[in-house]
Chains A and B, each alone.
Chain A
Amino acid sequence: MRTGTDKARRGVLMALASTLVLLASQVAGAATVGPVTDPLGVIRIPKGAPLVIGGYWVLSGPDTALGLDEKRGVEIAMKDEGGSLLGHPIKLDAEDDTCNAEGGQTAATKLAATPNMVIVLGPGCSSAATPGAPILWQAGIVNICTACTAPALTAPGRKPEYDGFARTVFSDSEQGKADASYISKVMGAKSVVTVHDGSPYAQQLATVMADNFEKLGGKVLSREAIAPTDVDMHPLLTRIASEKPDVVYMPIFTAAAAQILRQSKEVPGLEKTTLMGGASLLSADFIEAAGPAVVGFRIGYPDLSPEAMGKGYPKFVEEYKTAYNEAPISGFHANAYDGAMLAFKAIAKVAKTDSAGNLYIGKKALRDAVFDTSFDGISGPIKCDQWGECSQFKPSVLEFTSGDPKTFAIGKNPKKIWP
């Protein structure tokens, strides 16, 4: 009798479990909704409902300008698109990722849980993208990154959980190579010390630069590391001074970089050493944080001069100024604009409308469309390779000319000194 009950109970449980598995496979797996069949599922946007685009950028803290600038780039792209796509108003749902792994994870989880999230743009920091992109792709959401440049994100042979990740920004493997070549050939430096802050961006860029610098015959005296929250850099700088490097290469973020820059003036032995940073430092906030010590500081950066950018760039800058009453506050607005445009073009390519006016987008189809779309963006030609690298890189070096944050203007302070 007892065995019989057990058997019956087990049978019910089995049935329940298989129903659940079936349900789950329906939610996550292949589906046909309306006129669209897609192996990863279909997004259905009812007639008149907004087409929700997600975004995650750093929108608070010392690196706010970096993220806000990209968000504005996306907002201008939305405006240029007429505010709607295929008859649906475009709605941007932007989250703050605070430029770190925890923030990226939280923001991506929130965006992945938003019903009918079509595509996600951002982030600005590789440390947020590294955990964020897999979370989004698990939900079948494509992520077009607008400023995260860590090489691993689009490196050949990357892990499958990054399959849904593409970026309209260059890889630091290019930036690091260009910086090494500038330091070695143009500056004529023989020795460098690199400093990173443990973030994927800084760590990978510093490594790529150092490796290429060694290949060019230079000497890497040491590869230092700090925590992004460190404030007392004097001991580190005294240590670096004991090695007498020609160049200190420090592609780190605003607060720590400003500390190093200011304190380097107070440490004996560094008078002849040149400091050079990375793209994360192109903002008025950095000038504010570093003060007068910023004059003469150089950063390796993709070439933003109008002759190097795409045709539409000057018009975009005018639009930016009209919309926000200031010139671009950081350097990745054009990449963000192109990222949004890539998303819109890909959506327009694959979305289907039924007779009632509802919109259907296949998730896998959208991913393939993003990787397959090419156009002339305002940051240059956009065309993705199979690992999601969609941007082309033209190097330049910028030098800050004034410690007054009000004078910040890309091209003037900092001004382009190479090529």
Chain B
Amino acid sequence: MSQSIVARESWLGAAARINAVDIVLWALRIGVVLVVVVGTIGSLIKQRYTGAQWFDFVMFGLTIGSIYAQIALGYTMVYGVLRLINFAHGDFMMCGAFAGYFVATPLQNSGFLERSPVAGMAAILAVAMVVSTAVALLTERIAYRPFRRVIGLAPLICAIGVSFFLEQTFRGMFGSAVKAYPTPSWQRASFHIGAVAIPRIDALVIGLAVVFMALLYLIVQRTRMGTAMRATSEDPEAAALMGIDVNKVVVFTFVLGGAMAGIAGVFYAFVYKQVYFFMGFTPGIKAFGAAVLGGIGNIPGAMLGGFFLGLVESIGPSIFLDGLGIPAPYQLRDVIAFTLLIMVLIFRPQGLLGERMAKKRA
């Protein structure tokens, strides 16, 4: 008898602890899961898309995802080392895309890019990386270093200011019209594996992105400078006491982030063909989302987050909303991507791979 009373009271106590917010949050989670499950089943039953089309969706998602991932790396590394959200990072990418444009156009016009794709692409990427890195370094030296010891929102506001500054400077220098990247004929070709066709540019972008990211990971994990970077990100003061030159580490971080942004800019422009001064903003925001999703400060997390966001954006509307019969699902792709991002963060506030770092710090 008394046991049952105790059980009842503890149950009542638990019930009393559940408040309205919990109920709403759980309803939200269940709602999203229901939409995902019912939508997916509905889409698969409808059989609107062929296997080849599903494959295309995945390829499109991986392509944009690999670009998000590369931009996200810049966010995550700078955050890891400086605890600064570098909102100008998307604009570093824009600088790289513009630099690439001014190399790619004459190369294409002279026929060089058609004749020697490898040398041509290498030149475009090299110039873009140099320009993006230079802009990143100047930004760090002029705008961020004075804020290094400032706690609060000032550095963040400064980063937003740098973002506007870069956008408007490029607008002033090169005009506000959209410029079109050249399309060499070898980029338009695609290769066939069975029934599916893979555009060569997509394969190139995904492949090279993975190679560059692997390279970056090795640099961070295996080199002395990379180790110093990780040490600074764990505890800047202890790192400084151990003889690590924190300034050097910060500069190195911006070099890596800037170079990746330059590469991402060229890839982005080669896939989507348009460059203009405001092009860095949206991918920048999305890549920031990807970095948070992966666990900000965590390098493999940023890559994973980027690919996740790209895939959800590409496949999400077709798989979740088509099955529910929602018209014009593609206008909701950002809603889907960011809803899922929020859902992941509700369940794992530290991000997908954020745990390891948090444990180490704890």
Contact = CB atoms under 8 A, between A and B. Distances in A.
Interface of A: 60-62, 64-65, 198, 222-227, 229-232, 234-236, 238-239, 241-242, 254-255, 258-259, 262, 265-269, 285, 288-292
A285 B328 CA distance: 28
Given A222-B327, A255-B178, A242 B49 contact: yes
B275 to A, nearest CB: 10
Interface of B: 48-50, 52-53, 56-57, 60-61, 63-64, 171, 176-180, 183, 188, 190, 197, 199, 271-274, 276, 278, 282, 313-315, 317-318, 322, 327-331, 333-334
B334 to A, nearest CB: 7
A235 B190 CA distance: 17
Contacts of B330: 224-226, 230, 235-236, 239
A242 B48 contact: yes
Give 8 closest A-B pairs by Cβ, nearest first. Answer: A225-B331, A225-B328, A234-B60, A289-B178, A231-B272, A236-B330, A60-B176, A62-B178
Contacts, number: 109
6 contacts: A238-B318, A239-B317, A259-B273, A265-B188, A289-B178, A291-B273
Contact of B276 (A62, A235, A239, A268): A62
Given A226-B331, A238-B49, A285-B177, A232 B274 contact: no
B318 A235 contact: yes
A237 to B, nearest CB: 10
Contacts of B197: 268
A259 B318 contact: no
A213 to B, nearest CB: 17
Nearest to A255: B178
A262 B180 CA distance: 11
Given A235-B314, A238-B53, A266-B188, A62 B199 contact: no
Nearest to A265: B188
A270 to B, nearest CB: 12
A198 to B, nearest CB: 7
Given A229-B282, A235-B60, A259 B274 contact: yes
Contact of B328 (A64, A223, A289): A223
A219 to B, nearest CB: 15
Contacts of B274: 231, 255, 258-259, 289
Contact of B178 (A223, A267, A285): A285
Contacts of B183: 262, 291-292
A274 B312 CA distance: 29
Nearest to B59: A234
Given A222-B328, A226-B330, A238 B56 contact: yes
Nearest to B52: A268
A289 B274 CA distance: 7
Contact of B53 (A65, A241, A291): A241
A235 B48 contact: no
Given A229-B282, A234-B60, 19 more contacts: A60-B171, A61-B278, A62-B178, A224-B328, A232-B271, A235-B315, A238-B318, A239-B317, A242-B50, A242-B53, A254-B178, A258-B273, A258-B274, A259-B273, A262-B183, A269-B53, A285-B177, A288-B179, A290-B180
Nearest to A243: B48
A61 B176 CA distance: 5
Contacts of A230: 330, 333
B5 to A, nearest CB: 59
B57 to A, nearest CB: 6
Nearest to A269: B53
Contacts of A290: 180
